[in-house]
Structure formats: structure tokens, C-alpha cells
Structure 1
Amino acid sequence: MLRVLAVDDEAPALGELLYLLRADPRVHSAEGAGDATEALRRIGRALESGQGGDEGVGGVDGIDGIDVVFLDIHMPGLGGLDLARLLGGFARPPLIVFVTAHEGFAVQAFDLEAVDYLLKPVRRERLAEAVRRVHELVHATAQAPAPEQIPVELGGVTRFVSVDTIAYVEAHGDYARLHTDHGSHLVRIPLSALEERWAARGFVRIHRSHLVALARIDELRLDGGATSVRVGDAELAVSRRHARHLRDLLMRRAP
């Protein structure tokens, strides 16, 4: 079960969030802090007391006694993004879920590897989904890498898409279109940034306009000197610059 710290400078919002969290059967305990300074004091006390034991990330790879911090962004003094950066510097940081009235910080949340990004007023069903994601990550095996999430906008609502569901990415200037198992999403992240970030996850550049998950390539086609790949229903051109490297990667992958 989860040990939760919620941080918000607005007492009514904090009280409502704690009420909903404590009603979730996956939450062992939920404590509140009115600002980042109080949150750091609580985290310090948790470290000193050596809480944690067998449940949750505490004692595995989170701050002892705290599995996840539900964190407001706009607060007096130290803001939520700043606090998340500070926590990220710990040897065993807790997971982060942002809870905010502002939609414009999803990209920063992505950069800080937040598990989720909730908009106020928080709906019970949406909070339950965030708790489910945290619960799965906390109880995953220590060897399994956490699935990276990327924020996308759908009808004014921020959702997080798992990188594991992305087959290929298409460049759109300073934006990129993610082609997933369930549709496509435009995000304000350059293709070059995703190429560098996802190289270790098996994504390879095949053209100045396309980045492809190597495991999703179904066919490699050679036609009159031109090279292309089939990824699901899409056929994508491979530039001469990238063709030889791609063939080498696919040959090494073959049984």
C-alpha cells in the first residue's frame, strides 16, 4: 500500500485531495503539507525515522516512508517544479504527481519524469487513475525499468502516453507527431530531443523526418536503390545516410 505526501498552499484544495486519497484502498497513509518547506521537513523526519519496511517504494528505491508526492505547482516561495527538482536529487526520490489549475506546465512535468499531471478541480476517477499508475510502479520488480510517460493534450485534457505504445515519430518543425497503437498526438518536443532521449529504448533515426521503434519494424524493403520500412500499416522512407546503420541494427536483432 502507498504512503502519500500531498503538498498544496490552499487549505480547501489540500483537504479535498487528502480526503479522496484516504478513501482509496491502495493508500496506506496520506499526510499534507501547506508549502514546500513543510514538505521538506516531513521528508526529513521520514528519513530520520527510517520508516518504510516491506511495503511500497520505501525501503526499495524511494525516500523511506514516502512513495509518492502529489504536488501543486504554484505556491509561495519554493514552487512545485523547484521542489520536484530538489527531490529528484535524492539518492532514492519519491514518485511525483503534479496537481495544478494550470495546463501549461505539462512539458516541464515530462522533463521531471512525473507519473501524472492532474488538473484542478480533481475528479475522483482521474485521481484513481493516477493512484493506479503509482501503485503499479511502486510494486513493479526492482529490475524492471519504469515505463516512461509523455504528456499529450486531448480536448483540453492532459493525458500521459507510455513510450512503449509509440511505433514511430514524425517531425513537424519544433513539434513531433507520436504515432501510437491507438492514434497520433502532436507534442511540442523536437524530434532531435526525442532521438537523444529514447536511443536507449530502441528508437532509431531513419530519416530527418522519422524516428522509429526498432522492435516495431515489420519489413525492410529495397527497391531500385531506395530503402523503406513497414511499421504496421505505414511505409516510411529510409534516407541513404541512415540505411546502412539501420540494416546493421536489424541484422543484429535477427535470431
Structure 2
Amino acid sequence: MIDEEAPEVVFLDIRMPGMTGLDVAARLVDSPKPPHIVFVTAFDQYAVEAFEHSAVDYLLKPASLDRLEKAVAKLKARLKAPEPALPTAALQALLAQLAGGGAAVQASAPAPAAASAPLQWIRASHGEETRLIPIEEVIYFQSNDKYTSVFVADGESLIRTPISKLREQLDEQQFWQIHRSVIVAARHVAGTKQDFRGRLMVQLKGRPEQLVVSRNYVDLFRGM
């Protein structure tokens, strides 16, 4: 449809059945007249800062009307320019970065983006403000009703991503699932011990609480 209609602007979701939004963008960037692309994503591993410092735009789900209006205003300003500068170079650089620092996403063989680009930032609600938390600062994640709690050294924030989906976005070498509702950062594990009930407990660096390891994940700590 893009080939047939030749639009000036394309809003692309990143996670789609079949080709991903990045795969589509990789094809468009090589076309004779690539459109302006606005990525739509619910996943912070796609480097929000990269979007903010490039010529393309992004909308983070759930997109507010105010944020959408700003994106449209920016697009209108570009399109009104005497010769609208299409962000080909910036888009190529962004695609390379989102693919993990290597070549741009291969259009012929779409691959799951989460596998090549582990989560780097967490956009989380903390009271009335929104925090952008580097993944290195996260001590553990815990399922919390409709939300997932993100625990760092100085407190707790909330995200809407279910822990099952979150697990797919994390580097499994750096984050260990120890319970169906808990994922802990390996770098923040101080050690383990058994409580009076015989349960294996994870002790943390920087936080006083101890986390229960369910029987399904005990083997992860054998030899510690």
C-alpha cells in the first residue's frame, strides 16, 4: 500500500505480525523518496533518547492526544518547508542503533527486535511524575496486580508491562526469573539463604527485603 499510495508520512508500529516496523522502515529508507516515519512503540528498549535526537519522531504507547498533536505539528512544519528534508541519513543511523549497533535491519529476513536489542531504559510512573530509569539501576521487578513494580535503590515505580512480556525484553544473562512474579538483576544479588520454612531466599544489595525463590528456579542458585 505504501508503494502504491506514496504517502509523505507513515506511522509505524514496531511490533507487528510478519514484518516489524523496523523491517518496513529499512525498506522505505532505500526507496527513491522515503516518507517521514513516526514510530509507535510501547517498548522502551527502542532507545527513546535515540528517537528524541534524530530527525524521525516517535509516539510511546499509550499515546496521549497532546503528544500526538505535537508530532503532527512537527510533521506539518517539515512538510511546509520549501524542500522538506527527508531524514534518510538519520533514519539509517537510528535503524543501525536499534539493531544493536550493527548494520540496518535486513528487510529480507525480519527478526524479533527484542532478541537483538535488550531493554535499556524503563519509563515508569512514580507518583505524579514519569521516570526514565536506566536498566542498570533496576534491582528487581515484581508483578503487582495490573502493573509491574520496578524497584531501585531509592524506591519503587510502576509500569504497565506484564512481567511475562517484560522477561522477553530483558537480557537473560543479566536478569534472572526466580519466581513467576519476580525477576531480579544478577548484579544486585548479594547471596542466598534458607528461611525457617526451608525456602531459598535471595538477599539483595542496597535493599533490606529478601525474595523467595520458587522451586522451579532453585537450580539457578546451586553452588552459591
What is the TM-score normalised by the length of structure 2? 0.51
1:80 shift after superposition: 5.3
CA separation of 1:186 and 1:231: change in aligned 2, threshold 3 A: same
Counterpart residue number, 1:179: 151
Counterpart residue number, 1:228: 201
The one-letter code matched in structure 2 to 1:229 is V
Counterpart residue number, 1:246: 220
Counterpart residue number, 2:212: 237
1:121 shift after superposition: 6.5
Compute the RMSD of aligned alpha carbons: 4.2
**Unmatched segments (≥5 aa) in structure 2:** 1-5, 30-36, 50-58, 61-66, 72-92, 103-116
> 1 or 2 for the larger relative contact order (CA 8 Å, sep ≥6)?
2
Counterpart residue number, 2:79: none
Counterpart residue number, 1:115: 48
After superposition, give the CA deviation of every residue in 1:183-210 in whole Å (9 maximum; x if it has no partner).
Answer: 2111111112222322535211212331
Matched residue pairs, number? 152
Q: Distance between the aligned counterparts of 1:180 and 1:98, measured in 2?
A: 32
Q: Distance between the aligned counterparts of 1:114 and 1:199, measured in 2?
A: 15
Q: Distance between the aligned counterparts of 2:28 and 2:152, measured in 1?
A: 30
Percent identity of equivalent pairs? 26
CA separation of 1:142 and 1:209: change in aligned 2, threshold 3 A: closer
Counterpart residue number, 1:37: 7
Q: 1:86 aligns with which of 12, 18, 21?
A: 21
Alignment of 1:4-153 (within 5 A): 37-38=7-8, 78-79=10-11, 81=13, 86-90=21-25, 108-110=41-43, 113-116=46-49, 119=67, 142=101, 148-153=120-125
After superposition, give the CA deviation of every residue in 1:125-152 in whole Å (9 maximum; x if it has no partner).
Answer: xxxxxxxxx99x97xx958x77612221
Q: Is the 8 A contact 1:98 1:109 kept in 2?
A: no
Q: Is the 8 A contact 2:45 2:169 kept in 1?
A: no
The one-letter code matched in structure 2 to 1:246 is L
The one-letter code matched in structure 2 to 1:109 is A
The one-letter code matched in structure 2 to 1:178 is V
After superposition, give the CA deviation of every residue in 1:31-60 in whole Å (9 maximum; x if it has no partner).
Answer: xxxxx9335xxxxxxxxxxxxxxxxxxxxx
After superposition, give the CA deviation of every residue in 1:151-181 in whole Å (9 maximum; x if it has no partner).
Answer: 2134555442222211111111332101023
1:90 shift after superposition: 4.8
